[in-house]
Each structure stands twice: as structure tokens, then as C-alpha cells.
């Protein structure tokens, strides 16, 4: 989850998010470079008392500031497309979890694993005990085995929602009547928090998402427990 007054992204907990963070840093460096150059040029032109006759009808500089931005665009676009198609690929998932957005909670179905299904409602502030996060905790976690590729199928029952976990680098629209797909690998055990990211009505802020990543052995124990319920 994010910490108070956080400025940057959350730390990556999946290879996909790792790639996104690298790409963000790469692009930000280019932004700094351009900003510095433009600011420098503006300052020079504003403070010089003379008219810049050598910057009027100057074919050489026109050439440079047309071709250079084109190259910079390519340097941004190519890694961006690489990540886009990399994250689109669902490579032999170990498990498939279907998540359905409702007003205002998420429900989960493990259709290829013991047919587990349950709802996940936000825990009301009154039920919280020390150490739990207000507006982020849910009564039932979506438990997944760590270091396993997970395929998420995402849809909605009523209106648009969006299933999001920032530290796993996933955000997929939940659309009624349509099935969207995304994938992630949780590289570490732990709890990953997210919130509905498509405005969906009065309680849009009160339908958080919690993914719990555990070693496979514990995942199996959990799935058997869920069967008994």
C-alpha cells in the first residue's frame, strides 16, 4: 500500500511492475533533459539585450529541433510498446481467478481450483483492530500462490468498476457483459492493497481489493479451508 505523503510509485512486487518502474525512470530522465534545455534557452533569449538574428530563418537549427524530437519519441515509444505487449501476454497460468465487480464489493471465483467462490466486503472502521488499515481491509482476501503466474478474468455485474493493485502493476476495467483478462506474478509473500479505480457510485471508495500472496503449501491449506465453509 502507499504510505502517508508518498510521492513516487509503490515498490514493485511483480516483474510487470518492475518493468513499469524502469520505464517511468527512463522517461522522467528525458523529461528533465528537455525541461532543462528549454528553460535554459528561454532564459538566454529573455535576458539578452540583442535580437537573435541568428535564430531567424536558421535552417540548421530547424533541422536539429525537428529530427531530435523525432528520435526522442522513438526512444520513448519502443520500450513503451515492449512493456505493453509483454504485460498483455498470459503465459501458462497456474491458476485462474475470476473477479466480478458489484455495487459495492468484489466477488471472486476460483473456477479451475476446487470451485471456491466468495465475496469480499470492506471492513467497517468500527471492526478494525490495531494494525489494520482503514478503508483498505476486506473480510476475505484473494489468496494466490506466490511466484506463480495468475490469470485474472475481470467483469462487472452492474456498472463499470476497475480491478487494481498498484504494486503488482495491474489495472483492468470491469465491464458488464464483457470479460477482460490480465495477469501477474507475485514475487513475494505478503498483502497487496488496491482500490476500485473506475467511479462506480456512492460507495466507490469503499470497495478495496486485497491480494494475499502465500507459499503454495499455505495456498492449498487455505483452499481446503474455503471448501469447508
Ligand X SMILES: *[C@@H]1O[C@H](CO)[C@@H](O)[C@H](O)[C@H]1NC(C)=O
d(CA 211, CA 15): 16
CA dihedral sign of residues 103, 106, 107, 109 = positive
Nearest to 76 by CA among 18, 34, 37: 34
- Say whether residue 82 binds ligand X (CB under 6 A): no
Nearest to 210 by CA among 99, 103, 47, 92: 99
Given the complex with Cu ion, which of 41 and 205 has the nearer CB atom?
Answer: 205
H or E segment to which residue 16 belongs = helix 15-47
The secondary structure of 168-197 as a DSSP string is GTEEEEE-BT--EEEEEE--S-EEEEEE--
Stretch that binds ligand X, among 4-12, 28-36, 48-56, 173-181 (CB under 6 A): 173-181
| Interface residue with ligand X, options 160, 175, 191, 226 (CB under 6 A) | 175
- Say whether residue 173 binds ligand X (CB under 6 A): yes
Given the complex with ligand X, which of 146 and 209 has the nearer CB atom?
Answer: 209
Q: How far is the CB of 199 from ligand X (least distance, A)?
A: 15
Peptide bond into 36 cis (omega under 30): no
Q: How far is the CB of 86 from ligand X (least distance, A)?
A: 14
Given the complex with ligand X, which of 116 and 170 has the nearer CB atom?
Answer: 170
- Say whether residue 86 binds ligand X (CB under 6 A): no
Helical packing angle, 15-47 and 59-88, nearest 10°: 160
Binding mask 151-190 for Cu ion (x = CB under 5 A): ----------x-----------------------------
d(CA 53, CA 113): 74
- Say whether residue 100 binds Cu ion (CB under 5 A): no
- Say whether residue 12 binds Cu ion (CB under 5 A): no
| Interface residue with ligand X, options 140, 180, 187, 223 (CB under 6 A) | 180
Q: Quick one: the chain helix, strand, coil %, rounded to 5?
A: 40, 30, 35
Alpha carbon 110 to its chain centroid, in Å, reads 22
Given the complex with ligand X, which of 87 and 120 has the nearer CB atom?
Answer: 87
- Say whether residue 198 binds ligand X (CB under 6 A): no
Given the complex with ligand X, which of 34 and 179 has the nearer CB atom?
Answer: 179
Stretch that binds ligand X, among 11-19, 140-148, 174-182, 189-197 (CB under 6 A): 174-182
180 binds, among ligand X, Cu ion, none (CB under 5 to 8 A by kind): ligand X
* Binding stretches for ligand X (CB under 6 A): 172-173, 175, 178, 180
Amino acid at each position: 500500500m502507499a504510505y502517508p505523503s508518498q510521492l513516487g510509485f509503490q515498490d514493485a512486487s511483480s516483474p510487470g511492475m518492475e518493468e513499469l518502474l524502469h520505464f517511468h525512470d527512463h522517461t522522467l530522465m528525458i523529461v528533465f533533459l528537455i525541461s532543462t534545455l528549454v528553460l535554459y534557452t528561454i532564459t538566454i533569449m529573455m535576458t539578452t539585450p540583442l535580437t537573435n538574428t541568428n535564430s531567424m530563418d536558421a535552417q540548421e537549427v530547424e533541422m536539429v529541433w525537428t529530427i531530435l524530437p523525432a528520435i526522442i519519441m522513438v526512444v520513448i515509444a519502443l520500450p513503451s510498446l515492449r512493456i505493453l505487449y509483454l504485460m498483455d501476454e498470459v503465459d501458462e497460468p497456474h491458476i485462474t481467478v475470476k473477479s466480478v465487480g458489484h455495487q459495492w464489493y468484489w466477488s471472486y471465483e476460483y473456477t479451475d481450483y476446487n470451485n471456491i467462490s466468495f465475496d469480499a466486503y470492506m471492513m467497517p472502521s468500527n471492526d478494525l483492530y490495531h494494525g489494520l488499515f482503514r478503508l483498505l481491509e476486506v473480510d476475505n482476501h484473494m489468496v494466490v500462490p506466490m511466484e506463480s503466474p495468475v490469470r485474472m478474468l475481470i467483469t462487472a455485474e452492474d456498472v463499470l468498476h476497475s480491478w487494481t493493485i498498484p504494486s503488482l502493476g495491474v489495472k483492468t476495467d470491469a465491464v458488464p457483459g464483457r470479460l477482460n483478462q490480465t495477469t501477474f506474478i507475485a514475487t513475494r509473500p505478503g498483502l497487496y492493497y488496491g482500490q476500485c479505480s473506475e467511479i462506480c457510485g456512492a460507495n466507490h471508495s469503499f470497495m478495496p481489493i486485497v491480494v494475499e500472496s502465500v507459499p503454495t503449501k499455505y495456498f492449498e491449506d487455505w483452499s481446503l479451508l474455503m471448501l469447508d465453509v
